Amino acid sequence: MKSKVYTLTGDQGTTSLVGGKRVSKDDIRVEAYGTIDELNANIGLLAHNTKLEDTGKAPLIRTIMNKLFNIGAYLATENAYGDKVYGLTDADVELLENNIDDMDAELPPLRGFILPGGSRLSALCDVCRTITRRAERRVITLSHKAYVDPVLIKYLNRLSDFFFVFARFNNINNQFEENYWDKNA
């Protein structure tokens, strides 16, 4: 028999962590893994509503999405403190750095702050960048309360940089003008 999606167990404003401990739905841990989930959903939107295949980055985006599932599971498991995020290493941070460097080598130097947008793909990258930054803030807040694997924080920091450069890369390669912030506008 198929189980029902709704369990009624969250009707009082609590949810279960991996392992069964119940916490408030606004607990910082739930905020952290919930923001990772939101980020992954938006990356899914980026991946399936754009010409991502044309960029050559589709395999990397799928890898990122899988890494984010590992991160979410880690954050949802209270007894993970002191442990490493499964499947996340400094090599994953380096992979992002190498992709950033490769794309950035093809870009003109920055002349100031760039307004979000341009192509649809770039606009979705900007959304993913800002959600990544929020996820990073939530994880940092959690780290004040409990141990968080340092590679997780580095990965999120680099991931937001990746989305920033990927947005620029797509605008330049698709001949969309970068719109710089005009403080006098």
Give per-residue pLDDT as tens, 97-149.
999 999 999 999 988 999 999 999 999 999 999 999 999 999 999 999 989 99
B/e letters for 5-19, b = 16+ CB within 10 Å, e = fewer, are eeeeeeeeeebebee
Q: What is the pTM of this model?
A: 0.90
Mean pLDDT on 57-73: 96
Domains of the chain: 23-173 (1.20.1200.10)
Report pLDDT for 11: 64
DSSP secondary structure of 8-28: STTTTSEEEPBTS-EEETT-H
77 bridge partner residues: 18
Report pLDDT for 184: 87
pLDDT-derived band of residue 83, with 50, 70 and 90 as boundaries? confident
Q: What does the alpha-carbon distance between residue 83 and residue 148 come to, in Å, rounded to a whole number?
A: 8
E-assigned strand segments in the chain: 14-16, 22-24
Give SS3 for 84.
Answer: coil
Mean pLDDT on 31-57: 90
